[in-house]
């Protein structure tokens, strides 16, 4: 069983469909599991469609291609917004909308009826908040969480989006050296932590913090779909025992880098290895170009050939 991780897609259809078609092609011959590390939604205009596609895939329960979806701070904002809305309140309206939630809200209102929206909210509320792997890096178990390692992680996650626990904010919002966020501790000396949440502008799409022993894999898709077009490097992580394989996708259905992460070092793929990976891309998928339209609105156009 091969194991892959993505984080912070943020409604970016180009990346989502490129990566999912790549994994679909692998799953024809090999079983795999995809772990989504939160923030699948918001900011990108295809947030609603992507969310519904993931829910459909999970419900279909394809034994060759399993999906484990963990919650991020955007799923948490969405859940709280709809819970307030159902009670007739708007306490969490501004926070979610200011963070790009309106694109998800508009899409769901357009695509679903009230009963179906409630089912989506129930699904979001039941998302786990971290995952502990048997595989190890540097002799330490790998923990996957949106923004920081849990203080005392269990073998099976004991927290969900819907739970009212103080540690949830810590798990979903922590950000190192951010004066606007009160939670700053990310790593845990007992575990190798893989997080997203904080966009990085590394060309490979990931940054390793040796001091706190965590890997940040938020390649800035939220920034790209917000109109900052220089963020065009999104990592797909494959977990192996004692090392990681990291492929970097761009927004034009291409794999631009391949690296191994082992013993705290980044080792580039050989050209032959990278060529082998690109054969799994779906050549029939034609991504669209993200452009700034009138009044600061971001939209898609076809790539110019």
| CATH code at position 53 | 3.60.21.10
CA distance 161 to 129: 7
| pLDDT, tens only, 222-251 | 999 998 888 999 999 999 989 999 999 999
The predicted model scores a pTM of 0.95
Tell me the residue range of the domain where 214 lies: 2-302
Asked which of 64-68, 108-112, 182-186, 252-256 is least confident by mean pLDDT, the reply is 182-186
pLDDT of 297 > 80? The answer is: no
Say what the pLDDT of residue 304 is: 45
DSSP 178-200: -TT-S-----BTTBEEEE-SS--
Between the CA of residue 167 and those of 88, 173, 196, 243, what are the distances in Å?
27, 10, 17, 29
- Is 195 in contact with 113 (CB distance < 8 Å)? no
Cβ–Cβ < 8 Å for 2, 31:
yes
Neighbours of 166 (CB within 10 A): 6
Task: Specify the residue for token string 């904002």.
Answer: 77
Per residue in 106-140, pLDDT (tens digit) is 999 999 999 999 999 999 999 999 999 999 998 99
> Would you call 63 exposed, middle or buried from its count of C-beta atoms within 10 A (0-12, 13-18, 19+)?
exposed
Domain count, the chain: 1
Listed ranges 138-147, 181-190, 222-231, 296-305; the one with the highest mean pLDDT: 138-147
CB of 121 closer than 8 Å to CB of 134: no
* Cα 46 to Cα 13, 135, 166, 225, 279, distances in angstroms: 6, 33, 32, 10, 26
């Amino acid at each position: 069983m091969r194991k892959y991780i993505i984080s912070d897609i943020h409604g970016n259809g180009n990346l989502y469909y490129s990566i999912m078609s790549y994994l679909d092609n692998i799953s024809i011959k090999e079983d795999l599991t995809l772990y989504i590390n939160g923030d699948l939604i918001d900011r990108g205009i295809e947030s609603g469609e992507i969310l519904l596609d993931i829910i459909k895939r999970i419900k279909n329960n394809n034994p060759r291609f399993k999906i484990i979806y963990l919650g991020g701070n955007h799923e948490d904002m969405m859940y709280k917004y709809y819970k307030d809305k159902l009670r007739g309140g708007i306490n969490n309206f501004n926070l979610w909308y200011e963070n790009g939630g309106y694109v998800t809200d508009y899409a769901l209102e357009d695509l679903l009826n009230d009963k179906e929206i409630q089912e989506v909210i129930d699904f979001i509320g039941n998302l786990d908040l971290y995952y502990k792997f048997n595989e190890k890096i540097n002799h330490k178990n790998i923990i996957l969480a949106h923004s920081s390692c849990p203080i005392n992680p269990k073998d099976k996650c004991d927290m969900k989006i819907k739970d009212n626990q103080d540690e949830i904010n810590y798990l979903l919002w922590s950000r190192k050296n951010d004066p606007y966020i009160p939670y700053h501790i990310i790593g845990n000396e007992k575990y190798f932590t893989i997080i997203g949440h904080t966009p990085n502008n590394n060309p490979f799409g990931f940054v390793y913090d040796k001091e706190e022993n965590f890997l940040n894999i938020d390649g800035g898709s939220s920034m790209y779909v917000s109109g900052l077009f220089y963020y065009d490097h999104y990592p797909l992580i494959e977990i192996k025992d004692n090392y990681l394989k990291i492929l970097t996708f761009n927004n034009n259905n291409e794999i631009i880098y391949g690296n191994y992460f082992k013993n705290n070092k980044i080792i580039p793929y050989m050209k032959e290895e990278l060529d082998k990976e690109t054969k799994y891309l779906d050549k029939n998928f034609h991504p669209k170009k993200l452009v700034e339209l009138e009044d600061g609105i971001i939209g898609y156009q076809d790539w110019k050939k």
